[in-house]
Amino acid sequence: MICLKKYRGNRAGVCTGDAATEDARKWVHVFCFDKKLDLIPIGKELELFVQKKPGLSSFAKDPKAAADSLLELLEKAEAAVPRELQHDTPVRVGATAGLRQLDGDTPDRILQAVRDLLKNRGTFKSKTDWVTVLDGNQEGAYQWVTINYLLGNLGKEYPSTVGVVDLGGGSVQMAYAISDADAAKAPRLSDGENTYVQEMYLKGRKYNLYVHRIPCPGKCEIIDMVLTLMDPLIFSTQGSYKYGGVEYDASAVSSGSSLNACREAANKALKIDETTCTHMKCTFGGVWNGGGGDGQKNLFVASFFFDRAAEVKEVSFLDARKSSTNLWFLLSQLIYFFASLVHKYSYLRVENAAAASNRYSFV
């Protein structure tokens, strides 16, 4: 949900949101900027942030219920905008990976229900084409702009910017600025595919932004992958996991757990060792990596990368052993994260996990 408004002289407000994946969440942000794009407080805070679970795709069989689930967020956003300006404030809704993956006309029916909600019950200005599904490259680009804005990097030379790896509920995006020389080397993609490089002009400076939706699992697909390929990590757990309307067995194999076997399964699922690259500097499965360079020397990892990292801390071996049987989903995802960040996205071979942790920041 994105609302833009002009008020109080040179101030402008922005409300942003995301609502898509079944096991993820939908959220809304409201910001206020001055003419220099510096943040202005809303009350005692710099922002209004509200989130709610689940995402829109969990209402695949009931589009109206999907739209109605946004009401609370919409009301919070409206409360942050002066009443006399609400009718001039445009609202935009951008759904992401979870909605992209629904079958048939389900995404269109959900989006239409959201449009009807905004038209009939909302006070913001809305248009049909303002409610849409964002593609992965748009997600990555918006994430890159947001983080570099908050860090004060926009307007500087591209080596002063940071890259972003974002793990959502159903997809992974990577974005970072590259040189003119590397941008000129970008492979040509077939019709209907998004280009690897976008030109962006921000605060008077041009950036060549490498941004690509990596064709690999998001957080929810990781669990699917875990249940299909990572049985070696499960200890003595018995049960099941449901995602996308499919129930998966989550029972341990008779031979017991194996960290190495689990890591090998993660590498296999990520296609790390595949050699299908048709051009220089690929990551995996033939995906061009952008060429690397200074814009990628510092990476921020976001969304579910952060959520899982926040759940992990150093513990004694005995404490870890006591709780391990209840955390196998988390452990499986951490192994996936290590494999993807170290071997798949970093484009550098690191010797150990400590070296990898020094290369990434969490947002």
Alpha carbon distance 67, 245 (integer Å): 20
**Cα 332 to the center of its chain, rounded Å:** 19
CA distance 140 to 337: 18
Radius of gyration of the chain (CA): 22
Q: Which residues are catalytic?
A: 139
User: Mapping DSSP to helix (H, G, I), strand (E, B) and coil, where does residue 241 land?
Assistant: strand
The counts of H helices and E strands in the chain are: 12, 14
Angle between helices 71-79 and 106-120 (to 10 degrees): 40
| Binding residue numbers for ATP | 169-173
Pairing of strands 48-52, 26-33: antiparallel
Phi then psi dihedrals of residue 132, to 5 deg? -155, 175
Q: Binding site: residue ranges?
A: 169-173
**Contact, 163 vs 293, CB < 8 A?**
no
Whole-number Å distance between alpha carbons of 4 and 16: 9
In 3D, which of 53, 338, 99 has the Cα closest to residue 222? 338
Helices (H), 199-285: 219-229, 259-270
